[in-house]
Amino acid sequence: MKIFVKILLSLCMILYLLILTKLILFKTFSITEMNDHISFSFNGRYWGSHNFIPFKTIFHYLFIADVNTSIRIENIVGNIIGFVPFGFMLPLLSKMFSRFKSILIATFCFSFTYEVLQLLFELGSFDTDDLILNTLGGIIGYLPIKLFYTVFLKNRTMRSQAQGQ
């Protein structure tokens, strides 16, 4: 039974990663149009559309933007929600990711990979705030797992101690 759950969880993770990749990298065109984007472009117009300043986009959407509220929410909340499954499933798939620090680093690096791919292949814009929000999403996904293990292990330890007395 344990191997079945692991296989099922692995398949869910693969499906999740495929969907996330489509949503992040191929949101404006299909995968078959990828050939048009496999070129490094260093034209100034494109490079000016990126955000390398932390909290700039978040602040803009929350306090300044003359943008529809649904677009603001979709951008901020969507970046968080998109990475919640990553933080949830990763510790279930590998004990190596059972610690907060490892989830923090893994989620940041995973998000950074997407941002760099968007930057290099003109698949979107690099946004430091996406890194922040995505990493927050991974942490939020990790918290229920951490809480469950903490409560479960604490109860198991208390039962073991009670039986030993």
* Cα dihedral: 155, 144, 86, 120 (round 10): -130
55-70 pLDDT, tens digit per residue, is 999 998 888 878 888 8
Query: Does 131 have pLDDT greater than 70?
Result: yes
The residues spanned by each domain of the chain are 2-164
Place of tokens 């814009």: 125
Is a pLDDT exceeding 80 seen at residue 161? no
133-137 mean pLDDT: 99
SS3 1: coil
Residue 80: what pLDDT? 98
Which single residue is written with the structure tokens 């680093």? Answer: 105
**What pLDDT, on the 0 to 100 scale, is given for residue 124?**
86
Q: Does the pLDDT value for residue 52 go beyond 80?
A: yes
Of the candidates 41, 61, 45, 28, the residue with the CA atom closest to the CA atom of residue 129: 61
Element (H, E) at 70: helix 69-81
pTM of the model: 0.85
Q: Which of 16-30, 37-51, 124-138, 140-154 has the lowest mean pLDDT?
A: 37-51
pLDDT over 80 (residue 42): no
Tens digit of each residue's pLDDT (9 = 90 or more) over 8-26: 999 999 999 999 999 999 8
Handedness of CA 54, 58, 62, 65 (dihedral sign): positive
Structure-model confidence comparison of residues 98 and 43, the more confident one: 98
Answer yes or no: are the C-beta atoms of 6 and 93 closer than 8 Å: yes
Q: Which residues pair with 127 in a beta bridge?
A: 51
